Amino acid sequence: MNTNMKVLILQASPRANGNTAWMAEEYKKAAEAAGHEATLVNVSKKKIAGCLACEYCHTRGNGACIQKDDMQELYPLMAEAEALVLAAPIYYFALNAQIQAPIQRMYCVNKPAKVVKMALLMSSYSPGVYDGATAEFRDICNYWSAENMGVVTAKNDEQKSEETKQKVVALAEKL
Ligand SMILES: Cc1cc2nc3c(=O)[nH]c(=O)nc-3n(C[C@H](O)[C@H](O)[C@H](O)COP(=O)(O)O)c2cc1C
């Protein structure tokens, strides 16, 4: 175990007592129990717009985004994080928009500077809807040169179950 990793968990479900929020909370508790410093941000409550592709950041902006929204709070946390956990529900067979926006707004700095490990927590109603999101996550891990620590999914009948909790805890304990 690496001691004292800085872990940033982005939770993207707008349902405060939903399944994704529960998985993110369980992950945070397990990471802290293992000695890590974990920060959980509910990105669904933030105002984070999509990337404008204006290229301001890569020209006059010198790496800064022209859009001054709640992403400004997230940039410093992303810059310091060593492990990044994405937690999102599946909407229309994909990670929901609330998690895509902060990922894509990293365009200005290309990648989170210190992130070496990543994990993904997802929930859905149906089984068999995770392929697209899992592929996206795998490709982002590769692009950001981060170790893909794994994925935990919870469909309708697996949500808030002891079995799912154990999978989330095991994933956090791999940090
Ligand atoms: C807009 C929307 C789209 C959804 N699309 C899917 C889907 O494509 N497949 C699926 O299995 N569940 C879908 N769901 C259901 C959610 O993924 C499911 O209820 C999930 O557990 C919600 O997570 P939460 O409890 O963390 O909010 C959708 C829900 C919403 C609101």
Q: In angstroms, what is the span from residue 124 Cα to ligand 1's centroid? A: 5
Question: For residue 114, is it within any domain?
Answer: yes
For 97-110, the pLDDT digits (tens) are 999 999 999 999 99
Mutate to test the pocket of ligand 1, among 40, 121, 124, 159 (most ligand atoms within 8 A of CB): 124
- pLDDT tens for residues 110-137? 999 999 999 999 999 999 999 999 999 9
- What is the Cα–Cα distance from 2 to 11, expressed in whole angstroms? 23
Tell whether ligand 1 has an atom less than 6 A from the beta carbon of residue 94: no
| pLDDT at residue 2, rounded to an integer | 54
Q: Is residue 73 part of a domain?
A: yes
How many C-beta neighbours within 10 Å does residue 138 have? 14
Whether residue 1 lies inside any domain: the answer is: no
Pairing of strands 37-42, 6-11: parallel
State in Å: Cα 135 to ligand 1 middle.
Answer: 18
Question: Does ligand 1 have an atom closer than 6 angstroms to the CB of 18?
Answer: yes
Cβ of 13 less than 6 Å from ligand 1: yes
Q: Is residue 120, in this structure, part of any structural domain at all?
A: yes
User: Is residue 88, in this structure, part of any structural domain at all?
Assistant: yes
The secondary element (H helix, E strand) that includes residue 83 is strand 83-91
Please state the separation of Cα 130 from the chain's center in Å: 15
Please report whether residue 30 resides in a domain: yes
- CATH at 55: 3.40.50.360
Structural domain harbouring 53: 6-173
- How large is the average pLDDT for residues 76-92? 98
Question: Does 96 reside within a domain?
Answer: yes
Number of domains in the chain: 1
Domain presence at residue 47: yes
17-72 pLDDT tens trace: 999 999 999 999 999 999 999 999 999 999 999 999 999 999 999 999 999 999 99
